[in-house]
Amino acid sequence: DAPSLPDYLGAAKQPINEWLDRNPGGRVQVTEASRLKFKGNWKLAYDNSADGYHVVFSHRSLLEMENRKEPDPTKGMSFYMGKPDEAPMYVQYFGRGHHFKDKRPNVEKRPGALWELEGIQPGMESYARMIRAKLGDKAARALDLAASQPVNINIFPNLSILGNHIQVFQPLAVDETDSTWYATAIVDDADELEGMAGAVNAIRMRTQESFPNFGEVDDAANFEEIQKGLAACEDEWVYMHRGLGIPGRVRELPDGTLKAPATDEVFMREHMKEWKRLMTTRPNIVLAR
C-alpha cells in the first residue's frame, strides 16, 4: 500500500522545506533543463548522488577551473580536498531509500558567504555590481540566492535536489538512463529584492549551467565505465563497504536516521536494502474495472 506523501518523505521533509524557505516567499519556479543520457543503470546515479569520495578525482578539471584565479582553492567544491571526513559536512540516511548530503556546515553562517564560493561565471561581475548598487547592505543575501545551495537531497528512487537544481533520472533500459537537470528561478511577488529578482535569476541561471556541463559529464562517463565493469564475469560483487564496521563512524540519531562522515557509503548500503525490499514484496494491487 502506498503511504501518504508526508509519511513517505519522513525526515526528508525538513531539508526540502529549508531548501525552499531560503527563497523569497518560500517558492521557486521550475524552468528549462539540461538533458543528458548515459549507457548505465539508473542506480549508478543514485549511488553517486551523496558520494563524497569521488569528487576530487572525478571532478578535478571542474575544481581547477573554478579555482584557476585563486591563490588558495576555496571556490566550488574545494572543501572536498584534503580530508573530507574531517570536515563538518556529513551524509544522513532518512529511511525508505532517502538520503542527504549536507555541505552547509562547511560554509560560514553570514550573508554573502555562499556567493563567495561561486567560481567565475559569464556576466557575474556586472550583475553583482548592479545588485550591490541597488540593494546596498542587503545585496549579500540577494547574491546568496544566485549561488548554489550546498545540499544534495535525494528522494528514492529517482529525484535529487542538488544545489538549485531538481534532477530526475529515468531508466530507459537496464543499461540506459535519461538524466534531466531542471533549473529553478526565484519568484519575488512581494518585491523583497526591490526589482533585482531578474538580475539575481540571470546570475543564478549561469551558475546552474556549470555543474551539468562540467560536472555531470564526468559522472556520466564514470557510470558508463562502471556499467562495463558490471558486465565482467570475474567478480560478481559490487563493493559498498566504505566505513562499514568502524566503531562510532555511523551514528543512529534520536529520530532513527543514520549520520556518517562525508565519504561513508552507508546510504548506498541502506538504499539497496530498500530496493531489495521493494523488489521482493508481494504487491497489493486492486485493478479497477
Residue 196: the pLDDT is: 97
The set of residues, in sequence order, having a beta carbon less than 8 Å from that of 34 and lying 6+ positions away, is 180, 181, 183, 209, 212, 213, 216
Contact 91, 255 (CB under 8 A): no
Number of domains in the chain: 1
Give the DSSP per-residue string, 80-129. GSS-GGGSS-EEEEEETTEEEEE-GGGS-SSTTHHHHH----TTHHHHHH
Asked if the structure places residue 278 within a domain, the reply is: no
Number of neighbours of residue 20 by Cβ within 10 angstroms: 14
Indicate whether 220 belongs to any domain.
yes
Residue 56 maps to a domain? yes
Question: Is residue 280 a part of any domain in this protein?
Answer: no
Rounded to the nearest 10 degrees, the angle between the axes of helix 197-214 and helix 124-135 is: 150
- Amino acid 224: pLDDT: 98
pLDDT, position 95: 97
Contacts 24+ apart (CB under 8 A), 164-171: 164/28, 164/204, 164/207, 164/208, 165/208, 165/211, 165/212, 166/30, 167/49, 169/42, 169/45, 169/46, 170/42, 171/41, 171/42
Whether 198 maps to a domain, the answer reads yes
For each of the chain's 289 residues, which pLDDT tens digit applies? 689 999 999 999 999 999 999 999 999 999 999 999 999 999 999 999 999 999 999 999 988 888 887 777 888 888 888 899 999 999 999 999 999 999 999 999 999 999 999 988 888 999 999 999 999 999 999 999 999 999 999 999 999 999 999 999 999 999 999 999 999 999 999 999 999 999 999 999 999 998 888 899 999 999 999 999 998 888 778 889 999 999 999 999 999 999 999 999 999 999 999 999 999 998 887 777 7
Query: Given this model, what pLDDT does residue 107 score?
Result: 95
Provide the pLDDT for residue 273. Answer: 97
The reply to whether 279 falls in a domain is no
Query: Whole-prediction pTM value?
Result: 0.93
What pLDDT does residue 244 have? 96
DSSP-assigned letter for residue 22: T
Does 20 fall in a domain? yes
What is residue 218's predicted lDDT score, i.e. its pLDDT?
Answer: 94
The predicted pLDDT at position 163 comes to: 95
**Residue 128 structural domain:** 5-273
Q: Which residues 6+ apart lie within 8 Å of 31 measured at CB?
A: 182, 183, 184, 185, 205
Give a yes or no: residue 243 inside a domain.
yes
- Which CATH number belongs to the domain containing residue 83 in this structure? 3.90.380.10
